[in-house]
């Protein structure tokens, strides 16, 4: 079973009096533990695909399956639960909560659980602390744990975002152009960090980019153009 599966997915949305066909029958699959790049020019549909994997947008036609579950059949509450337990997000603009410290931002997803079956409730306070501190250390920010996001550089903020995305030990981390607002060097460091986390924790990373240099580190590349899959390959297969 594939971790993520797109089956003839279409996405249409109205723009004024015209209908924009953002995705036109896309199909692909993602294996667990992969480090996947979805690349293509601006407006090609990369973000739309990420939104659908993240269950924050729905397909007009076709099916999106996460761990074999048809996401279209889930209620809002179930989708929120799926996002909380299975998915982690890294945003282009970092989207850290400004009033919380680095530590609190990373801890935040662990406090969002609702319901008796929330797996994070079973964790002791110490376990949570250790895990959050471990993640902060992994992203190299142990000295900045009590700082607010406004006191950090762009690269540091994105590191916090990576740690936060991994807090709930998700199966998939989605990153929407995570290096777009960073300089080249910092961008490379961030990609490198994500790759390390992918290899250390076995978490599947799916990220969108239009930077061709990033393709070199990916296990799996899906090229998108005009809402269609232009190419879908594993670089290792072409070597």
Partner 1 sequence: MLIKLALRNLLQHRSKSLIVGALMAFGVMLLVVGNSVMHSLNQKMQASFTEQYSGDLFIYTDPIAKAQMELNQRLTNMPEKARQQSEQNRPEKEDNTSIFSGYGSGENAALPQLADYWQELSELDIIHSLSPQTLGMTRVENGEGAEAMSMFWGMDPDNWHTLGFAEHLQWHAGGLWQTDQPSIALSKDVAERYSKSQGQPLLIGDEILLTVNSDVGTTIRPVTVAGIFSFKTTATPQLNMMSLVDMATSQSLLGLNIDTSEASQLSAAEQVLISTSSEDDLFGGSDDLFGDVAAGQDNATDLEAELMASMAANRNQTNGPMQQYHFVIVKLAAGIPASEAEQQLQQWFNERQLIWKTGDWEKAAGFMAAMTKNISMVLDGFMVLIAVVSIIIIMNTLVISVTERIVEIGTMRALGAQKGLVRRLILLETLVLAGAAGCVGILLAIISIGILGFVGINPQSAFFNMIFGGEALFPYLSIDAVGNALIMMVAAALIASLYPLAIALKVSPVKAMQG
Which stretches of the chain bind partner 1, using CB under 8 A?
47, 50-51, 54, 56-57, 76-77, 80-81, 83-85, 89, 91-93, 95, 97-100, 104, 108-109, 111-114, 164, 168, 176
Task: Identify which of residues 96 and 191 has a Cβ nearer to partner 1 in the complex.
Answer: 96
Closest separation between CB of residue 120 and partner 1, Å? 10
Query: Can you read off the two tokens belonging to residue 64?
Result: 């999106």
Question: Cα–Cα distance between 68 and 119 in angstroms, integer?
Answer: 21
- Please identify, using beta-carbon distances, which residue of 119 and 202 lies nearer to partner 1: 119
Cβ closest to partner 1, residue 168 vs residue 204: 168
Query: CA 31 to CA 222: how far, in whole Å?
Result: 13
Alpha-carbon distances, residue 54 vs 19, 84, 182, 218 (angstroms): 23, 10, 23, 20
Q: How far is the CB of 157 from partner 1 (least distance, A)?
A: 13
- From the CB of 134, what's the least distance to partner 1, in Å? 19
- Which of 50/197 has CB closer to partner 1? 50
For partner 1, which is the closer residue by CB, 57 or 63? 57
**CB 156, min distance to partner 1, A:** 18
CB of 49 to partner 1, least distance (A): 11
Q: For partner 1, give the closer residue by CB, 16 or 98.
A: 98
**CA 146, CA 155: separation in Å to the nearest integer?**
17
Is the CB of 31 or the CB of 80 nearer to partner 1?
80
Least distance (Å) between residue 51 CB and partner 1:
6
How far, in Å, are 48, 59, 102, 175 from residue 2 at the CA level? 20, 19, 34, 19
Least distance (Å) between residue 238 CB and partner 1 = 31
């Amino acid at each position: 079973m594939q971790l993520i599966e797109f089956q003839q997915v279409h996405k249409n949305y109205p723009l004024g009096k015209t209908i924009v066909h953002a995705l036109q029958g896309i199909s692909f699959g993602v294996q667990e533990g992969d480090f996947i790049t979805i690349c293509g020019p601006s407006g090609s549909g990369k973000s739309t695909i990420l939104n659908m994997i993240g269950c924050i947008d729905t397909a007009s036609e076709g099916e999106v399956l996460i761990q074999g579950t048809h996401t279209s059949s889930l209620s809002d509450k179930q989708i929120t639960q799926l996002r909380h337990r299975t998915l982690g997000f890294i945003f282009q603009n970092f989207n850290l909560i400004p009033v919380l410290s680095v530590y609190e931002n990373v801890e935040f997803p662990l406090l969002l659980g609702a319901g008796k079956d929330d797996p994070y409730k079973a964790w002791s306070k110490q376990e949570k602390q250790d895990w959050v501190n471990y993640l902060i250390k992994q992203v190299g920010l142990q000295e900045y744990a009590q700082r607010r996001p406004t006191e950090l550089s762009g690269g540091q903020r994105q590191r916090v975002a990576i740690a936060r995305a991994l807090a709930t030990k998700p199966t998939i981390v989605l990153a929407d152009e995570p290096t777009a607002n960073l300089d080249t060097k910092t961008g490379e460091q961030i990609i490198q960090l994500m790759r390390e986390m992918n290899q250390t924790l076995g978490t599947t990373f799916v990220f969108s980019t239009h930077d061709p240099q990033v393709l070199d580190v990916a296990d799996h590349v899906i090229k998108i153009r005009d809402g269609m899959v232009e190419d879908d390959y594993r670089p290792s297969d072409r070597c």
